[in-house]
Structure 1
């Protein structure tokens, strides 16, 4: 059964992607809109993967984390969003931990990054 994603969620994700490319501050403000339409961050992450399938996900960690943060009902009480740096280089990565578990089962890269910021 194909996943049915509401139009307003698609628009929200598109705006979030554009803002993340151009302004962290505006993306952070947009990412605070409490949509809370998915039961947890894992489901929200799966929806984001359905919106943007394939290899492009490697570049979309920040908007994916903001999306999971704002659309998960459990995030507010049970989640934290991290931004980390890979210290030998200048690479950065964003991920969400909810209920003590990573929200994205496909992201095993987060363990290589030292957290430099946490948002709840």
Structure 2
């Protein structure tokens, strides 16, 4: 993979996250970028529904989403591993959106007009 390809990938994933979550997201940050031959990695952190801090992780084609619990601890939002190269990102992010909504009280989502 070339450096321009990984940069484009980061930007496309960030854009898709913004499109799927719309006004439910804030403070999106891309960080921990590793761009060395045969090792590509990055993280995208954001706040969603003013309720969770969510982390997207990419490393060597393996992707996943986690909720930050604090003190550097995270809980994964999917039971299985996903490869970027075999995943429709819009569909995957929509599944994560649904999973997050299940973890937030309906009253909270309704009060903010998100349900």
TM-score, normalised with respect to structure 1? 0.27
Max radius of gyration: which structure? 2
Higher strand share: 2
Tell me: higher relative CO, structure 1 or 2? Use CA pairs within 8 A at least 6 residues apart: 1
